[in-house]
Structure 1
Amino acid sequence: MGITVDLDKYKTINAATKQDSEKFNAIRCNTVYRPQLHITPPHGLLNDPNGFCYFNGEYHLFYQWYPFGTFHGMKHWMHLTSSDLYSWNEHGSKITPVDKYESHGAYSGAAFVEDGSAYLFYTGNVKNGEERDANQCVAILGKDNQVTKSEHNPIIKSFPKGYTGHVRDPKIIKDGDVYYMLLGAQREADLKGSIIVYSSDNLLEWALKGKLSIDIGADFNDAYMFECPDLLEVDGQDVLIFSPQGISPKQERFQNRYNVVYCIGRIDWASLTFTVTHWDELDRGFDFYAPQTMNNNPNEPTLIAWAGTDGDLPSEQYGWVNCLTAPRKLSIKENKLYQELKPINETKLNSVLVNLNIKTERIIKLESLSFLLDIDFSQAENIAVVIFDDFNNEFLFTVDNESKQLTLDRSNYDHNEKEYEFGSIRSCSLTEKSKNLTLFCDQSIVEIFSDQGRNVFTSLFFPSKGNQYLKITFDEPAEIKATLQYVNGI
């Protein structure tokens, strides 16, 4: 049940009619393609995660939401809470763009928690014909889960000289007694991407400090825009994450329309320099963008991202599109950023474990497409994991330790109505032997973690209604153990 695109693109949820509500309820109740443990919108379009934080004894997460259709329209902030990062309670739109300074959408931003208060920073998007303006704004998340916009908005009006109206996605960092705001931006002179920095001593009054210099000559410097900057400390090192747009493919890197990179190193606030010791793409799959890390995390660095940068997805016919990734724990090993799937509570997994002793091949008829698969193949060299159906559609992941290559191939799982513009194969070179895999499949998304998250592939896929099978094969006989657990129906 789709919602046609002739609706006013800048209509807010406050203007929903009784007829809209009836459509919304029908969409919400349809479970086709709906993941069980990944966040999807009740109806309409989901994109960037926002305001991810731990506050008042629970996890809070917002996401960009357009309620009326599966295209990019007026962006709201949908609010969710959780006690375990997998079961989420929905609280509706908590930042609805009804004010002049956000007349064309409440764009992305992040939370900052301090002294018992949670501040939600975001960009107020304004359009005047073809011209774009950007205001930086703040709202307060209360302990009653209500959100109140600041009377001081916008706290930064418009964009600074030397930049275009593409300035957005505030991230707040505190160093000593000084607060810093990172913003994704585009330089006016050469229309290239940049990160700019403001500073403040009270979170309300901000002064432009300058441009962050990323001290390395890298391919991402050719981007026309940097979006969603994030900065955090992981295992004693600074990690800068951002989403550059408009990079040409470089060998196996930057194969998607939009990509994400991370830089490990050290930031110097005095000189506004980030000295890089290592950088790479954050995810090697098809559908991963605009990640955000949790503020005020009580346990460990945690990241979640938007899965769904593609277009023409089959779920559109059911009135919704896109999801978020599962939460990921971050760590640094051998100067590389690892992403490991956050543990799923055992109560959410089938208590009957399927233990597989595989010699060369094993085929399993799947009871459900929501499952967790762990494979230890340290005794083998090469492995292939395939999800396939009765109609010869297949979703293939291979590990080739001889050629030192990981490959994800969805050429035979055509989830678009037209051929996918950016190809159907993604690969990654191995720097050391791969020994294990964790594959988290959840109806219409697959996340693959090799070797405790040294390399990660995220992909949407939309299987047929026929029987689904899992096949695991090896080149040579070896005693391999794998564990398959189904997600309990919820």
Structure 2
Amino acid sequence: MTEKESILISQAHEEVAKHKETVEADPHRLQFHLMSPVGLINDPNGWIQWNGTYHMFYQWNPFKPGHGAKFWGHYTSTDLVHWTHEPIALAPSEWYEKNGCYSGSAVDLDGKLTLFYTGNVKDEEGNRESYQCIAQSQDGITFEKQGPVIDTLPSGYTAHFRDPKVWKHDGVWYLIIGAQTEDLQGHALLYRSNDGRAWTNLGPIAGSGLAPLQQFGFMWECPDVFTLGEKEVMIVSPQGLEPEGMHNHNTYQAGYFVGELDYDLPKFHHGAFDELDRGFEFYAPQTTEDESGRRIMVGWMGVPDQQEDQHPSVKNQWIHCLTIPRELQLKGDRLIQKPVEELQQMRHNEVMHEEATIEGHTELNGVSGDVVELELSDFGSAPAFFEIDFRQEARLVFDRESRVLTLERKNFADRLTEKRQCHLEELQSLRIFMDTSSLEIFVNGGEDVFTSRYFPEPTENRISFTSSEQTTLNVKKWELRG
């Protein structure tokens, strides 16, 4: 460890200690989601199961609840429920990363846990340079930086060139990276390497202005390519999409394409883009394949440049969190998201109402709380209107006539009601994870998901149901302990 790195890590520890009491006293601090100990957390990084242990790194600014020169924080777990906060993995100490260790991924390279990440550099005038770097660890905890392995930009691209995701295919290493052309088109570029160190640029495999897409964003962040069944999936976070119908209403989006990656051309032949999440806060997700063969995704429960300074937690020196881990499955060309089965370990004190009758405004005995899981299933006659109210701060509404499912909440800044929506032919089931200040709503077995922050009064724990007509359903509720 260099002297500068040691100083930066010490300064980060000082920030944690200085604000520890304030942060931990915040009633909106989450109970079973990964957060930074102080300051801002954003993209999940280096998501991997290595030698039986899950490693989740994350973008972190310890010095303020806002963006800046990012560190890599680090959690580990053996069961996706109980997490240990490890020492800081990366601090922006070297010339090639002095303005931030930006996002990236992790692989096993030569038997070592190897981090690929973007080193961000800016001069006094704000001009940017970017370098794709590696750091390696024998024990999965202490990392030795080895500097840039890609230090030149491809011709025709700006220095908005970041977020390397690395994988192996047929014995060859590949790296996909988010990029911006000089005429401000977002692309995803593919690189190839035999040893994970010397990389050859194969060119863009998908992006704005590349068939079949027309104009499709000025920057593509955090691309991720993987195989599910017989198809390939590309997850990406394009910036600059215009709202269209019920889609693209967050400042920036996170979504996916399904298709086939031709490694020889190279070209990703794909269908239409679909958002991964219908809620207010979801961005920059990353996936890994674990040792049991599951493809597991975790996202950032936040969106850049979207009223971040208005979050109530900012005054208590912290902001944002990561989502729960979700197993991905492919149904046709649609990604299905399901909470990983290990999360059932968090359940305590089950309350069950079989064939509960809902008519008008109804509260069910024992169905309340701030850190709970709800399961609703076996709806009887479908009402014209069905609503769940979450702690007087948010509500989920299904309108049978319009076939629309709506999540509403009170805006952080002006307290006016805002909404996100999706088309839904039929409401069959809901699985809802509620934390002190978050909602993750899985609709019809994970065919649609709404992920959002919300900030109810800490003493308000009521969960209620409203139906326009008498209907029956099964309701299960558990308290959750992370």
Q: Same fold (TM over 0.5)?
A: yes
Match of 2:193 among 200, 210, 221: 200
For residue 363 of structure 2, what is the aligned residue in structure 1? 363
Amino acid at match of 1:438: R
Distance 1:64 1:261 in 2: 20
For residue 275 of structure 1, what is the aligned residue in structure 2? 269
For residue 78 of structure 1, what is the aligned residue in structure 2? 73
Distance 2:390 2:235 in 1: 35
Deviation at 1:216, TM superposition (A): 4.8
Task: Percent identity, please.
Answer: 34
Distance 2:350 2:137 in 1: 41
Pairing 1:386–2:382 present: no
Match of 2:10 among 5, 14, 22: 14
Q: For structure 2, which runs of at least 5 residues remain unmatched after alignment?
A: 1-6
For residue 50 of structure 1, what is the aligned residue in structure 2? 45
SS in 1 for 2:394: strand
Distance 2:104 2:175 in 1: 10
For residue 319 of structure 1, what is the aligned residue in structure 2? 317
How do residues 118-267 of structure 1 correspond to structure 2 at under 5 angstroms? 118-128=113-123, 129-143=125-139, 145-150=141-146, 153-188=147-182, 190-213=183-206, 216-218=211-213, 221-267=215-261
Deviation at 1:403, TM superposition (A): 1.9
Answer whether contact 1:27 1:43 (CA < 8 A) is retained.
no
Distance 1:301 1:119 in 2: 20
Amino acid at match of 1:396: R
Deviation at 1:342, TM superposition (A): 1.4
| RMSD across aligned positions (CA) | 2.1
SS in 1 for 2:202: strand
Deviation at 1:45, TM superposition (A): 0.3
Amino acid at match of 2:369: S
Answer whether contact 2:205 2:267 (CA < 8 A) is retained.
yes
* Corresponding residue pairs, total: 465
Distance 1:479 1:303 in 2: 34
Deviation at 1:401, TM superposition (A): 3.4
Distance 1:114 1:13 in 2: 26
Match of 2:448 among 447, 452, 455: 455
Match of 1:446 among 439, 444, 451: 439
Distance 2:75 2:12 in 1: 21
TM-score (norm 2): 0.91
Answer whether contact 1:449 1:457 (CA < 8 A) is retained.
yes
Distance 2:302 2:148 in 1: 30
Match of 2:328 among 327, 330, 342: 330
Deviation at 1:345, TM superposition (A): 4.3
- Report the CA distance shift for 1:419/1:469 in structure 2 as closer, same or farther (over 3 A): closer
Deviation at 1:290, TM superposition (A): 0.1
Distance 1:104 1:158 in 2: 18
Distance 1:195 1:17 in 2: 36
Q: For structure 1, which runs of at least 5 residues remain unmatched after alignment?
A: 1-10
Pairing 1:474–2:480 present: no
1:85-137 deviation digits (Å, cap 9, x = unpaired): 12210013111110001010000001123563321100000001221000000
Answer whether contact 1:53 1:113 (CA < 8 A) is retained.
no
For residue 4 of structure 2, what is the aligned residue in structure 1? none
- Report the CA distance shift for 1:41/1:366 in structure 2 as closer, same or farther (over 3 A): farther
SS in 2 for 1:212: strand
TM-score (norm 1): 0.90
Deviation at 1:21, TM superposition (A): 5.0
Deviation at 1:28, TM superposition (A): 4.6
SS in 1 for 2:89: strand
Distance 1:17 1:206 in 2: 36
Answer whether contact 1:386 1:394 (CA < 8 A) is retained.
no
For residue 348 of structure 2, what is the aligned residue in structure 1? 350
1:393-424 deviation digits (Å, cap 9, x = unpaired): 431112233322111111xx23x23468xx82
Answer whether contact 1:113 1:296 (CA < 8 A) is retained.
no
Distance 1:12 1:248 in 2: 40
More moved, 111-120 vs 263-272: 111-120
